[in-house]
Amino acid sequence: MNKVLVTGADGFIGSHLTELLLAKGYQVRALSVYNSFNYWGWLEGMQHPNLEIVNGDVRDANFCREIVKGCDTVFHLAALIAIPYSYVAPDSYVDTNIKGTLNICQAAKDLGIERVVVTSTSEVYGTARYVPIDEKHPKQPQSPYSATKIGADAIAMSFYNAFNLPVVIARPFNTYGPRQSARAIIPTIITQIANGAKEIMVGDLTPTRDFNYVKDTCRGFLALGLADGVVGEEVNIATNSEISMADTLNLIADIMHSDVKWIQDPQRLRPANSEVFRLWGDNTKIKSLTDWTPKYSIREGLEETIQWFSNKENLSKYKSNIYNR
């Protein structure tokens, strides 16, 4: 790689990946979704001689052709990701997640891009039929969000099979860390405790997740961008472990020295057939194809995350009293 494009660079994982790529010496073109305020999300304040920030939208095919020009690698992270919001606005998920991926793949094919790393999600697997979940696990669209990500993965793989586009599907399990959006449970809990809450409304705390600290996730992306033998593959980025939501929240409370109480809120429960009750990812494949292995334990990752959110400047960016879809 020399010059890379990161779509969704203004978001949580995208901004961390941008920082990692810059630290490794790459020239980075970072896409921030267009808005009339020239607001660059988590790229705000990020300055580097090798960083080029552009504004636009992956839903526009012509724009996608323009932004991939001059790049040799594309990390495609731009997507709508909030599961609850996908229940009420599924059309927008189809437009961004499926059509956006199609536009990037088409542009990459036409312009001869050397590697396209497309971001998937563990949600495509649905509730585990067996654990740990390897890449052969059946896909189960249990929400409109997961359905559109299954569709986006299929579009990308069709370009590999039909046109030899050098695609690799990166499938991170649940990523957390500094800058994560308020629609996710970990920042929601941390920000409320940091603001003094003694009782917190929660959804179902029985599901388990395989939590990846964001720095480990980004190292996984970089490894898949560089390694030989990964083109045409779907690859989990996972810790090969699981923890329940209840244990995760209690660990957060313990680290933050809080005696907070959890109160279940019916509006935070997913529809009965939509909840994914168990995610535990098998990372055998990525470890065999690359030199990647997770470095952070769940406690170490949460400690760094809590430290970041506890900073008053960072905490002030979050409306902890509002339930985010």
Task: Say if residue 166 is preceded by a cis peptide, omega within 30 of 0.
Answer: no
Q: Is 9 exposed, middle or buried (0-12, 13-18, 19+ CB in 10 A)?
A: buried
Q: Is the pLDDT reported for residue 245 higher than 70?
A: yes
Q: Tokens for 173?
A: 């399990």
Residue 13: φ, ψ to 5°: -70, -40
Per-residue model confidence (pLDDT) at position 323? 65
Give the largest CA-CA distance in the chain.
Answer: 57
How many CB atoms neighbour CB 186 within 10 A?
23
**Mind listing the pLDDT tens digit for each residue in 26-70?**
999 999 999 999 899 999 999 999 999 999 999 999 999 999 999
The structural domains of the chain, ordered by start, are: 3-175+212-237 (3.40.50.720), 177-209+241-280+297-315 (3.90.25.10)
Q: Which residues of 11-37 are buried (b: 16+ CB within 10 A; e: fewer)?
A: bbbbbbbbbbbbeeebbbbbbbbeeee
pLDDT band at 112 (very low <50, low <70, confident <90, very high): very high
Give the separation between CA 53 and CA 70, rounded to whole angstroms. 14
Q: Is the pLDDT reported for residue 268 higher than 90?
A: no
Q: Tokens for 155?
A: 């579009």
Per-residue model confidence (pLDDT) at position 324? 63
Average pLDDT of span 94-109: 98
**Full-model pTM:** 0.96
Give the separation between CA 265 and CA 209, rounded to whole angstroms. 20
Residues, the chain: 325
pLDDT band at 193 (very low <50, low <70, confident <90, very high): very high
**Mind listing the pLDDT tens digit for each residue in 136-192?**
999 999 999 999 999 999 999 999 999 999 999 999 999 999 999 988 999 999 999
Q: Is the pLDDT reported for residue 308 higher than 90?
A: yes
- What does 254-281 look like in DSSP terms, one character per residue? HHTT---EEEE-GGGSPPTTT---B--B
DSSP state of 42: G
Per-residue model confidence (pLDDT) at position 321? 74
**Mind listing the pLDDT tens digit for each residue in 283-292?**
999 999 999 9
Average pLDDT of span 192-200: 95
The residue among 10, 29, 109 whose CA lies nearest residue 71 is 29
